[in-house]
């Protein structure tokens, strides 16, 4: 599973309806504060895909600094 860095698109806010849009409350809060978060790509709820933008890809686990 690949981790990606995401943030909300400019002007977007995530609703707390639908149980925090299917996100962990810490991730939901960080996104609404305009922060970039690292999440598993497969764990991004379809409900918010149009509201976020991928800003990068986290380093793969186990690369040993290569």
**pLDDT in the model for residue 62:** 53
pLDDT band, very low/low/confident/very high, at 66 (cuts 50, 70, 90): very low
Q: Are 45 and 28 in contact (CB under 8 A)?
A: no
Spell out the domain ranges in the chain: 3-57
Q: In this predicted structure, what is the pLDDT of residue 60? A: 61
Strand segments, DSSP code E, in 1-66 are: 3-8, 37-40, 52-57
pTM confidence score: 0.79
- How does pLDDT run across 10-57, given as a tens digit for each residue? 999 998 877 787 888 999 999 999 999 999 999 898 989 999 999 988
Q: At 53, give phi and psi (nearest 5°).
A: -130, 140
């Amino acid at each position: 599973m690949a981790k990606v860095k995401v943030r909300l698109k400019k002007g977007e806010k995530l609703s707390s309806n639908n149980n925090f849009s299917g996100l962990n409350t810490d991730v939901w809060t960080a996104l609404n504060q305009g922060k970039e978060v690292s999440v598993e790509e497969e764990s991004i709820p379809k409900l918010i895909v149009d509201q976020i933008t991928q800003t990068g890809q986290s380093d793969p686990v186990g690369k040993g600094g290569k």
